[in-house]
A and B are shown apart, each in its own frame.
Chain A
Amino acid sequence: MVDNKVVAEVRNVSKTYTVLPTGTFAIKDIFLKGKIPFRTRRIRALNNVSFELYNKEKLGIIGRNGSGKSTIVNLIMGALKPDTGTVTTDGKIMKLETGAGFDNEMNARQNVMLNSSLMGLPKSTAEKRYREIVEFAELEEYADLPIKHLSKGMKSRLAFASAMYMEPDIVLLDEFFGGGGDARFKKKSDEVFKERILQDKTLIIVSHSLPIIEQYCDRVLWLDKGLVKMVGDPKEVTSAYSQDNR
């Protein structure tokens, strides 16, 4: 059950991306064009957003594309810095995102062992976790192949199993749900998800799927063009969001 301890706090956060159309500039531009080509575009992603995430809470974040959902997740991850405001977190965080988290050139074992180590697991525990992860993801036969040779479904299963067994305190699911695979695997992953995440971990789910948000979340945050439009009970927020989208 959710308790009163705040494990992440987003306070008055604004974030604008400054984008160079060319990414970086080349020295030839200075000579040919006579100036440093800083033609930047500014894209506002979040505007004065505040909320708290409580221990063991399951928070859903919804909103249209470009509303700032992934920006929030990356700020909590520490992979982005707000322009103004503060983001503070407490605990080990892991994000699940389709196609991310693994080095494609290396095999499942090398990837899992590295991830475990960065998550702070001692080597002996990491070895044990690795066996559990590969067994759960049903990838024993493929564990020595570079990840690039695995199918999309296999990679999803591996990512899902990693999050289940690496003992993060806060799990961020960015448009990622379930371990992929057939009905039997889905049933198995639902069970382990309930047992290992829903019971005692803190969770943020970013999803366009309102049934998933309603099924798993205690509270929902609706973002609209970088602003918090509504926050509260999952049923109320998703139904207001659905009406707005009609």
Chain B
Amino acid sequence: MSSSKLSKQIILAFNGPRLERILALAQYDYTKRYHGSHLGMIWALIKPIFQLTVYYFIFTGVFGASEDNYALLIFLGLITWMLFSESTNRSMTVLKSKAFLIKTIQVNPVDFFISNVLTAFVGFGLALAIYIVASLVMGVGYSWQVIYLPFLLLTIFILCLGVSLILAVLNIYFQDIEQLWSMVAMFGMWTSGVFGRSEVFIQAFPLLRYINPFLAIISNMRNILLYSSGPNWNDYAYTTIYAITILIVGLVLFDRNYFQALERL
């Protein structure tokens, strides 16, 4: 593959063999994450079950939360946010961790980032399954509009991938980006409405709706998976346009700076 072909490769439509490569990478990443621990991938199930149990007892038993299913509200918000924060945090070391492959086999580097986000989605999927079981046990009903869930997940995927590529480029030039990003991520988590209804945040700071797309994303996740309603389509349109714009910026920046990153590996 010549360097001039790289940009074409990046936006190349997915075909069977490319998808197979990406899935193999994601499977590898996921295996590696739990490699060496005695319980292995069971941890991916234990952690969210433990989290949900703790929230339930603290918010329902100790604080006596007035909001119905407050533990579920927090859990759903948190796993959605964690999906984003986990995939973006890891993106800064993706190229370094795959240097052993980049140096010996021709690969499309964007595939590493796609598989990184997919790996985070696998963990999210397990947590979501636990959420659904718990919500059914707690009497939450689901409407047919749950079929819109894949659309929301696609928007989150695009956003995670776009931000991952931007962070990977920034990480080439600024060694402080990991520390800076952890602060940005903390701001993001507390302004995403993870710990309360999104409307409360928007009423207090209307601009937040436009600064942090996760406010609308988490709100829509709850609409579908907690409040038996459909997504707010205005919010959906805004977050999707936001995500696509971020992805385009990420791809352009990555295309222009990728080789600089390789020289520094």
Q: Which residues of A contact B (CB under 8 A)?
A: 17-18, 23-27, 74, 77-82, 86-89, 92-97, 100-103, 105-106, 110, 113-115, 117-120, 122-123
Interface centre among A23, A74, A117 (most CB of B within 10 A): A117
| B84-120 to A contact mask, C-beta < 8 Å, 1/0 | 0000000000000000111111110000000000000
Q: Are B24 and A105 in contact (CB under 8 A)?
A: no
* Smallest CB gap from A77: residue in B: B106
Q: Are A86 and B2 in contact (CB under 8 A)?
A: yes
Which residues of A sit under 8 angstroms from B100, Cβ to Cβ?
100-103
CB distance from A174 to the nearest CB of B (A): 10
Which residues of A sit under 8 angstroms from B175, Cβ to Cβ?
23-26
Interface assignment of B174: CB less than 8 Å from any CB of chain A: yes
Interface band, chain B: 20 to 34
Q: Are A79 and B102 in contact (CB under 8 A)?
A: yes
Which residues of A sit under 8 angstroms from B102, Cβ to Cβ?
79
- With A25-B173, A87-B2 in contact, do A97 and B103 touch (Cβ < 8 Å)? yes
* Smallest CB gap from B262: residue in A: A79
Q: Are A17 and B24 in contact (CB under 8 A)?
A: no
Among A25, A103, A118, the residue within 8 A (CB) of B107 is A118
Which residues of B sit under 8 angstroms from A94, Cβ to Cβ?
104-105
CA distance A79 to B103 in the complex (A): 7
CA distance A74 to B28 in the complex (A): 25
Among A25, A27, A86, A97, the residue within 8 A (CB) of B4 is A86
CB distance from A245 to the nearest CB of B (A): 29
Interface centre among A74, A81, A82, A110 (most CB of B within 10 A): A81
Interface assignment of B61: CB less than 8 Å from any CB of chain A: no
* Smallest CB gap from A117: residue in B: B24
Among B2, B32, B36, B264, the residue within 8 A (CB) of A78 is B2
CB distance from B115 to the nearest CB of A (A): 11
List the 5 closest pairs (A to B, CB-CB), nearest first.
Answer: A117-B24, A81-B259, A81-B3, A101-B104, A24-B175
CB distance from B256 to the nearest CB of A (A): 10
Q: Are A118 and B24 in contact (CB under 8 A)?
A: yes
CA distance A119 to B24 in the complex (A): 11
Q: Are A95 and B17 in contact (CB under 8 A)?
A: no
CB distance from B165 to the nearest CB of A (A): 17
CA distance A101 to B103 in the complex (A): 7
Interface assignment of B25: CB less than 8 Å from any CB of chain A: yes
Interface centre among B2, B21, B36 (most CB of A within 10 A): B2
Interface assignment of B31: CB less than 8 Å from any CB of chain A: yes
Which residues of A sit under 8 angstroms from B174, Cβ to Cβ?
24-27
Among A80, A101, A105, A119, the residue within 8 A (CB) of B259 is A80
Which residues of A sit under 8 angstroms from B35, Cβ to Cβ?
105-106
- With A17-B263, A77-B106, A79-B103 in contact, do A113 and B24 touch (Cβ < 8 Å)? yes
Which residues of B sit under 8 angstroms from A120, Cβ to Cβ?
17, 21
CB distance from B1 to the nearest CB of A (A): 4
Q: Are B24 and A114 in contact (CB under 8 A)?
A: yes
CB distance from B72 to the nearest CB of A (A): 37
Interface assignment of B199: CB less than 8 Å from any CB of chain A: no
Interface assignment of B68: CB less than 8 Å from any CB of chain A: no
- With A23-B175, A26-B176, A115-B101 in contact, do A78 and B1 touch (Cβ < 8 Å)? yes
Interface centre among A26, A27, A78, A123 (most CB of B within 10 A): A78
CA distance A112 to B115 in the complex (A): 18
Among B4, B105, B172, B259, the residue within 8 A (CB) of A115 is B105
Which residues of B sit under 8 angstroms from A24, Cβ to Cβ?
172-175, 264
CB distance from B18 to the nearest CB of A (A): 9
* Smallest CB gap from B20: residue in A: A117
Among A27, A100, A113, the residue within 8 A (CB) of B104 is A100
CA distance A123 to B27 in the complex (A): 13
Which residues of A sit under 8 angstroms from B106, Cβ to Cβ?
77-78, 92-93
Interface centre among B104, B107, B262 (most CB of A within 10 A): B104
Interface centre among A79, A89, A120 (most CB of B within 10 A): A79
- With A78-B3, A80-B259, A94-B104 in contact, do A27 and B21 touch (Cβ < 8 Å)? no
CB distance from A206 to the nearest CB of B (A): 14
CB distance from A55 to the nearest CB of B (A): 17
Which residues of B sit under 8 angstroms from A78, Cβ to Cβ?
1-3, 6, 106
Q: Are B24 and A88 in contact (CB under 8 A)?
A: no
CB distance from B17 to the nearest CB of A (A): 6
Which residues of A sit under 8 angstroms from B176, Cβ to Cβ?
26-27
Which residues of B sit under 8 angstroms from A115, Cβ to Cβ?
101, 104-105
Interface centre among B25, B31, B102, B103 (most CB of A within 10 A): B103
